[in-house]
C-alpha cells in the first residue's frame, strides 16, 4: 500500500496505485510529483485524517 502526504494540507492518502495521476482527497492538490511512501498501515487511517485536519482552519 502506498501513501502520499500532501505538501499543501498535510493530509495523507493511501492507495495501491503508484502512478502520477493522484490528487489529494482533502484539498484537491496534485500529488503527482510527491514521492510514494510505503505505508505500514499500523495506524488507523481515520486517526491519520483527524490529525491532518486538526488545526486546518487556523492555517487557512
The distance in angstroms from the start CA to the end CA of the chain is 30
Q: Quick check: pTM over 0.85?
A: no
DSSP assignment of the chain equals -EEEE-TTT--EEEES--SS--B-TTT--B-TTSPPEE----S-HHHHHHHHHTTHHHH-
Tens-digit pLDDT profile for residues 14-27: 988 888 899 999 99
Count other Cβ atoms within 10 Å, centred on residue 9: 17
Tens-digit pLDDT profile for residues 40-53: 666 666 777 777 77
Extents of the domains making up the chain: 2-59
Amino acid at each position: 500500500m502506498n501513501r502520499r502526504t500532501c505538501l499543501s494540507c498535510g493530509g495523507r492518502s493511501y492507495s495501491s496505485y503508484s502512478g502520477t495521476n493522484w490528487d489529494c482527497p482533502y484539498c484537491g492538490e496534485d500529488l503527482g510529483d510527491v514521492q510514494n511512501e510505503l505505508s505500514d498501515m499500523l495506524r488507523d487511517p481515520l486517526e491519520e485524517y483527524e490529525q491532518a485536519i486538526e488545526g486546518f482552519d487556523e492555517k487557512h
